[in-house]
């Protein structure tokens, strides 16, 4: 991805917040994804800054990034609540995501070139091995991200990137992937791999069929996970003592045989940044 495309396809809150800011972003994101910061709970920027030992201005910048990524709902410049999706809101969000990705695939069909197809193949040069570890889950998160980032960059429409941030926020994508069992993860990877050949063949109908299959496969699992999140919803304030980053998700039942996920990393915003991660297959 050339420099102009990088600039076109990213927004200020997606950029690095610096080592300290990125670390705080990841800590809070993980607390939210594991429901240690529960849906609807209040987070105060000044109190978070004090607990983390960072300037309040940096805490507010982290707030803005987390809000743009779909993890927080801003109440003011200084306070936010952890996102809470009702069952219907989740369905609506998934449907919007389906429509946006479908549109992206349709437009990409006539525009992607051999270099783009090569990037897609390299992005998915990966396979799950049993037992599926947290490292594999995170590698797939990043590969999913750069796969669709490549598709969106092919379209070369800045507003579409912003639509994707709204219609399919990173918070939803991570909620989807962390809700899947081993079979679900392999199914998603398989459908994405088949999509590359479909794009090369300019087969729009098959591309749509693959998309429909994947959304039908993961939506029930994500809905169950969301119901688990919602049982933990509360209106009080979070505990600002950010602890270990490998907490087990509070919304999972003891008999849930799902791969573990960890704190993870910030998603790369260019092909060069993805390559620099040197993710192991």
pLDDT at 165: 75
The pTM is what? 0.93
Instruction: Domain ranges for the chain, please list them.
Output: 3-85+233-266, 87-226
Residue segments in the chain with a per-residue pLDDT below the cut of 50: 1-8
**Chain segment 6-43, per-residue pLDDT in tens:** 444 567 888 899 999 999 999 999 999 999 999 999 99
pLDDT at 137: 97
Residue 9 per-residue DSSP state:
T
CATH topology of domain 87-226: 1.20.120
pLDDT at 207: 96
pLDDT at 218: 96
Q: How far apart are CA 219 and CA 225, in angstroms?
A: 10
3-state secondary structure of 100: helix
The pair of three-digit structure tokens given for residue 94, joined into one six-digit string: 């998934």
pLDDT at 246: 58
Q: Which class would CATH give 3-85+233-266?
A: mainly alpha
CA neighbor of 218 nearest in space, from 165, 159, 177, 172: 177
CA 101 vs. chain centroid, Å, equals: 14
pLDDT at 171: 95
pLDDT at 243: 67
CA neighbor of 15 nearest in space, from 266, 265, 264: 266
């Amino acid at each position: 991805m050339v420099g102009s495309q990088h600039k076109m396809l990213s927004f200020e809150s997606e950029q690095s917040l610096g080592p300290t800011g990125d670390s705080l972003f990841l800590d809070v994101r993980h607390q939210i994804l594991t429901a240690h910061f529960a849906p609807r709970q209040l987070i105060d920027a000044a109190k978070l800054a004090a607990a983390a030992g960072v300037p309040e201005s940096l805490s507010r910048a982290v707030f803005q990034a987390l809000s743009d990524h779909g993890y927080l709902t801003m109440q003011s410049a200084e306070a936010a609540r952890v996102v809470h999706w009702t069952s219907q809101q989740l369905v609506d969000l998934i449907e919007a995501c389906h429509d946006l990705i479908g549109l992206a695939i349709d437009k990409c069909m006539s525009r992607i070139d051999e270099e783009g197809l090569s990037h897609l193949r390299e992005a998915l040069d990966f396979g799950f091995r049993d037992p599926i570890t947290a490292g594999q889950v995170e590698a797939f998160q990043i590969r999913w991200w750069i796969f669709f980032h490549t598709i969106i960059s092919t379209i070369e429409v800045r507003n579409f990137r912003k639509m994707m941030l709204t219609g399919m926020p990173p918070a939803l994508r991570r909620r989807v992937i962390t809700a899947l069992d081993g079979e679900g993860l392999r199914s998603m990877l398989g459908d994405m791999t088949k999509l590359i050949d479909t794009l090369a063949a300019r087969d729009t109908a098959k591309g749509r069929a693959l998309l429909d299959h994947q959304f039908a496969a993961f939506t029930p699992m994500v809905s169950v996970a969301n119901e688990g999140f919602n049982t933990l919803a509360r209106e009080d304030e979070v505990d600002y003592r950010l602890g270990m980053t490998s907490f087990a998700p509070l919304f999972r039942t003891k008999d849930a045989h799902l791969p573990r996920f960890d704190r993870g990393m910030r998603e790369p915003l260019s092909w060069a940044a993805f390559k620099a991660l040197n993710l192991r297959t």
